Structure 1
Amino acid sequence: MYSFGLGDEFAIILLLIFVFYKFTQFYVFLILSTLSLILWIWHLYDKKQYWQKLGVPCSPANIFVGHMLEVKSKDGVIQFDKENREKFGKTYGMYLLDMNNLVTSDLDLIKQVFIKDFVHFPTRSGFPLTQNKKIIQNSLLRSMVSVVQGDDWRRVRNTITPAFTAAKLKKIIPTISESSNELINYISRKYVVTNEEIPLKEIFGLFTIDVIGRSGFSSDFKTFSGEENEIVKQALLFSNATKKMAFFAVLTFFPSIKELLENYFSIDLWDMPAQKYFHGLMSKLYDERKDDPEAKDKFNDIFQLLMNAVNDSEIEDITMEQTTNEINNNLITKQNDKYLSKIELFAQGFMLLIAGYDTTASVLQFAAYMLAMHPEVQEKLREEINSVLGIDEDISYEHLKKMDYLQAFLQETLRMYPPAPVSNRACNSNLNLNGINLREGDLVSIPIYSIQHNEEFYPEPEEFKPERFIREEKASVDPLTFLAFGLGPRNCLGMRFAEIQMQVVIALLVRRFKFKPSQNSPKLPLELESVMLLRPKKELVILAEDLL
């Protein structure tokens, strides 16, 4: 059964007007058409009174797009949330296109939604996924653990979680060090020798792709070669696919058309050329390893860890024509209901790459910028790194565990500049949430940036103070107020990998270079955009001095 959105309703109104025009007298046509439009506009207005009727404070919204234009005019959700919190308090309502969104920074409500009542809020967004198996079985995006839902999410998450334990990830620290040293050499020859400004997002984008190549797939992607690189090109194309995202937003107005295209014509609206490229890349790696009995010991990378997570399993080519009792197409099966399809295995590798390019690189650019803008922090960090490493050329997991100030520095960076300024959960049933009657499909959002910049939780929140996360100070931080990696069962699975990656590269960079601002470095506080991910309005550039 189709659900109707704003676009569908408008199409019905136009159809009615056409019928009135063809089959009634002109004055009757005018009366009925005008009446239909008035009733439709009243219906739209009434829908945008949803929160007000429930007694939830909410500012007036555009009857067609809700608060989307207002959010866009303020460069994202940060300023919008600040103004609404000052006006309404910790909890208020807003409308995202045709969806109802409850925004709350109330820690009790956050804990209830993201942890206690997770069974009622199991997914990250209110956009419905396709039920077309043909599309699902060929889509990397739709098969990522961050996207799949219900039993599929539990199965995929339980299957791949063992690949991301600290004990297993510390084995890939040497490969992360290799990528870090490649970055150091790249900075030295291209920017330090010439005294040119370092474009932070660009270099850390290259670094994260290089890390994924080496530690993810045991492959040298040659990202620092200086030549045009197809992998970097495809990652950038995917990251900049804003037109596609805008297309998704438009389709929320036409859910029936979306369902028709996907479920009946098998048109994948999330299909992007980058998916095909990376599918081919991982398929080649998979084929090379699947019949190699020594692969488990030969490759110390995440892709192999994912394959090991379904160890002792059989690869079966099950066709759709076979009986429905057989689990699915191309399943890699395992006992205790742990299995992955090939597309699901490839999807997790794809997720690591795009998440690293967008989020990890974003955090690292802010981290390096804070080093340049806070020389006292940089010097204190350098003293700790040199003290722990001594004359050692290599960095180990044991070294990282001793670097308290490094960990505090990165946590303070994540506090001030969380990659995602907002996180949400979709309600899967009618539910009373602390006196608020939510309907199925309603969203509950937590403003991560606002909570982590709240002086109630962090005194002088706009000041960069790594000491907040040192020993006694760290013990006093409420976990519900530090949400950079999400919260609850659906938090960021790659959190440990991201942390280790950032710790290694920052430690090695600070040991080698002294960072300082340039004439074109934006002044603090930074102007930010926060429509989807947190980004600086102006490019972050700094200078580096070689300490060798």
Structure 2
Amino acid sequence: MGFLYFFSLETWILLIAFICIFIMYGHWTFGVFEKMGVLGPKPYMYWGSIGRFNSVYYLDDHGGARKYGRVWGTYEFRRPVLAVMDPDMLKIILVKECFTYFTNRRNLRLNGDLYDSVSIAEDDQWRRIRNILSPSFASGRIKEMFSTMKHHSRKLTDSLRSKADNAEVIAIKDFFGPYSMDVIASTAFSVDLDSFSNPSGPLINHAGKMFRISPLLFIFQACFPIFLPLLELLGVSFFPKSSSDFCRAFLKKVREDRDRNSHQVPRDMLQYMINSQTANKEKQNNGLTDHEINSQLTIFLLAGYETSAATLSFLAYNLALKPEVMTRLQEEIDSTFPDKGPVQYEALMQMEYLDGVVNESLKLYPPAARMERIAKETVQIKGITIPKDMGVMVPVYALHRDPELWTDPEEFKPERFSKENKQNINPYTYLPFGIGPRNCLGMRLALVTVKLALVEVLQRYSFSVCKETEIPLEMDPQGLLGSLRPIKLKVVTRSNA
């Protein structure tokens, strides 16, 4: 007992007070959902209810939905989050009351140079940026870019030829990744990166790192948000500084090259943003600032690469597991473009079974497994009072696998998106790109990118599983939705190729 006399009485009082405050602070936010009358898992001090059903966050959401239904309360460390899968509530949150109460996504604040990207910006700044960018993603503009996209899809099919001839096992993302990066770079700022010649180039490496947030940093800021202002002042960011610095330097060089060749004015996203700066000089702050332009291009480049490459990889995986679906799709491709004829934009966008295959794969593996909104004011929705500043989380992965909303939700069944069946799907049960005013801005471009690559590859090759193919996939607990290990398949030359 001699240690009791090691500290003075004052020190013991301070130590005991600190322990009490530490424990109280770790529980302070708990109990919110009991007052709201919302069920949910019991939280642990500081840790909340993370990983109660699975260490992979979107599989954990799936477990929560199975146990508590379509609305439940969970705690992300100390932060209460209302999970909502009820379609009627989603319609109100994502569309009807988007501008009034749920305009903003959750802002973790440690965003580094990307604080003014369209996916993070809030309220009036978001509206201004979104309004300026939207015309760049209109169908007419994407159609103008189609020939450029075909240039890269041909490189994709050429790169697969030797692998198919030698019956090699490949990590499929190693081919879809360079294609996705090249399409985005050429449509965004008219640069041909030729990533197939350098698949481990710096842009692809930085894109792969961009959304892998440090677990320790994420835990610290969630448990002790009081330190967020200090972390921001110190320049701490979730996004690797080396990656954002590289992208900023890269984009600066692109703009300098463009300025030196001002007689050539490409019709790409970068030029559209530059034009916004001078379109209405009399209107203050009408166009994008240079910093905002860099932020939009960085997020398009890095987020677009990851989501498009992952979507194509999951498509190849699903088709390899279901060869009868792949055969039917190839029959539609052959009838639409006989004798491996060149792919035309209008015909591509009218292919019904292709559309069903892509939609079904996005249902099973949505690019973003969650969406989030923040309540700007206290609001009542369907009898549930959501307090101001509470996060509302839409577990998209779990929503797409709800057995009461989908027949055989775990099965790959493209016919559920046929013209006859599609009209019976509640639009608030299928959200791979979100819905409402704050849906994914690049949705049209992403779908064209994915469909073009899939058609051109399946004109010449088939996907097949091999002993290296992981069935089922083990999912990655970090970042966007993806497999923990690379998806490995064989690409086989079609007999009539």
What TM-score comes out, normalization by structure 1 length?
A: 0.83
1:100-135 CA distances to partner (integer Å, 9 max, x unpaired)?
Answer: 1001111111111111221211222152468xxxx7
The answer as to whether partners of 1:412 and 1:469 remain within 8 angstroms in 2 is yes
- Given the alignment, which residue of 26, 29, 35 partners 1:53? 35
1:154 aligns with 2:154: no
Cα deviation, residue 213, structure 1 = 2.6
The answer as to whether partners of 2:368 and 2:432 remain within 8 angstroms in 1 is yes
Unaligned runs of 5+ in 2: none
The answer as to whether partners of 2:51 and 2:60 remain within 8 angstroms in 1 is no
The answer as to whether partners of 1:75 and 1:531 remain within 8 angstroms in 2 is no
The match for 1:230 is 202
1:114-193 residue pairs with structure 2 within 5 A?
114-118=94-98, 119-128=100-109, 139=113, 141-189=114-162, 191-193=163-165
The match for 1:474 is 422
- Given the alignment, which residue of 490, 509, 529 partners 2:438? 490
Cα deviation, residue 389, structure 1 = 1.3
Cα deviation, residue 53, structure 1 = 2.3
The match for 1:201 is 173
1:286 aligns with 2:264: no
Cα deviation, residue 37, structure 1 = 2.9
Q: Percent identity?
A: 28
1:252-271 residue pairs with structure 2 within 5 A?
252-263=222-233, 270=239
1:242-301 CA distances to partner (integer Å, 9 max, x unpaired)?
Answer: 43x6424422333333213435x66667561121222122222223335766544xx243
Letter in 1 for 2:32: Y
Letter in 2 for 1:397: Y
The alpha-carbon distance between structure 1 residues 32 and 307, as it changes in their structure 2 partners (threshold 3 A), is closer
1:251 aligns with 2:200: no
Q: State how far apart, in whole Å, the 1-side matches of 2:27 and 2:237 are.
A: 33
The answer as to whether partners of 1:174 and 1:396 remain within 8 angstroms in 2 is no
1:44 aligns with 2:26: yes
Cα deviation, residue 511, structure 1 = 0.2
The answer as to whether partners of 2:48 and 2:74 remain within 8 angstroms in 1 is yes
1:135-159 CA distances to partner (integer Å, 9 max, x unpaired)?
Answer: 7xxx2x2221001112111110001
The match for 2:183 is 211
The alpha-carbon distance between structure 1 residues 181 and 393, as it changes in their structure 2 partners (threshold 3 A), is same
Cα deviation, residue 345, structure 1 = 1.2
The match for 1:356 is 304
| SS of residue paired to 1:412 | helix
Q: State how far apart, in whole Å, the 1-side matches of 2:117 and 2:17 are.
A: 47
Cα deviation, residue 431, structure 1 = 3.0
The answer as to whether partners of 2:278 and 2:287 remain within 8 angstroms in 1 is no
Cα deviation, residue 396, structure 1 = 2.0
Cα deviation, residue 164, structure 1 = 0.4
| SS of residue paired to 1:47 | coil
1:340-355 residue pairs with structure 2 within 5 A?
340-355=288-303
| SS of residue paired to 1:488 | coil
Cα deviation, residue 35, structure 1 = 5.4
Cα deviation, residue 38, structure 1 = 3.6
- Given the alignment, which residue of 477, 480, 484 partners 1:533? 480
The answer as to whether partners of 1:420 and 1:532 remain within 8 angstroms in 2 is no
The alpha-carbon distance between structure 1 residues 470 and 543, as it changes in their structure 2 partners (threshold 3 A), is same
The alpha-carbon distance between structure 1 residues 415 and 237, as it changes in their structure 2 partners (threshold 3 A), is closer
Letter in 1 for 2:434: G
Letter in 1 for 2:65: R
Letter in 2 for 1:230: P
- Given the alignment, which residue of 88, 91, 95 partners 1:111? 91
Cα deviation, residue 202, structure 1 = 2.2
The alpha-carbon distance between structure 1 residues 153 and 343, as it changes in their structure 2 partners (threshold 3 A), is same
Cα deviation, residue 51, structure 1 = 1.1
Q: State how far apart, in whole Å, the 1-side matches of 2:136 and 2:64 are.
A: 41
Letter in 2 for 1:288: D
Letter in 1 for 2:165: V
The answer as to whether partners of 1:416 and 1:449 remain within 8 angstroms in 2 is yes
Letter in 2 for 1:360: S
The answer as to whether partners of 1:126 and 1:443 remain within 8 angstroms in 2 is no
Cα deviation, residue 361, structure 1 = 0.8
The alpha-carbon distance between structure 1 residues 437 and 374, as it changes in their structure 2 partners (threshold 3 A), is same
The alpha-carbon distance between structure 1 residues 228 and 44, as it changes in their structure 2 partners (threshold 3 A), is closer
The answer as to whether partners of 1:262 and 1:269 remain within 8 angstroms in 2 is no
Q: State how far apart, in whole Å, the 2-side matches of 1:409 and 1:335 are.
A: 46
1:84 aligns with 2:52: no
What TM-score comes out, normalization by structure 2 length?
A: 0.91
Letter in 2 for 1:144: S
| SS of residue paired to 1:101 | strand
The answer as to whether partners of 1:205 and 1:357 remain within 8 angstroms in 2 is yes
The answer as to whether partners of 1:518 and 1:542 remain within 8 angstroms in 2 is yes
The match for 1:12 is none
Unaligned runs of 5+ in 1: 1-20, 315-332
The answer as to whether partners of 1:222 and 1:229 remain within 8 angstroms in 2 is no
Cα deviation, residue 169, structure 1 = 0.5
The alpha-carbon distance between structure 1 residues 530 and 115, as it changes in their structure 2 partners (threshold 3 A), is farther
The alpha-carbon distance between structure 1 residues 541 and 507, as it changes in their structure 2 partners (threshold 3 A), is same
1:494-513 residue pairs with structure 2 within 5 A?
494-513=442-461
The answer as to whether partners of 1:126 and 1:441 remain within 8 angstroms in 2 is no
- Given the alignment, which residue of 383, 393, 411 partners 1:463? 411
The answer as to whether partners of 1:155 and 1:337 remain within 8 angstroms in 2 is no
The alpha-carbon distance between structure 1 residues 33 and 183, as it changes in their structure 2 partners (threshold 3 A), is same
The answer as to whether partners of 2:153 and 2:456 remain within 8 angstroms in 1 is yes
Cα deviation, residue 63, structure 1 = 1.3
The alpha-carbon distance between structure 1 residues 546 and 441, as it changes in their structure 2 partners (threshold 3 A), is same
Q: State how far apart, in whole Å, the 2-side matches of 1:69 and 1:157 are.
A: 35
Q: CA RMSD in A?
A: 2.7
1:321-344 CA distances to partner (integer Å, 9 max, x unpaired)?
Answer: xxxxxxxxxxxx575963100111
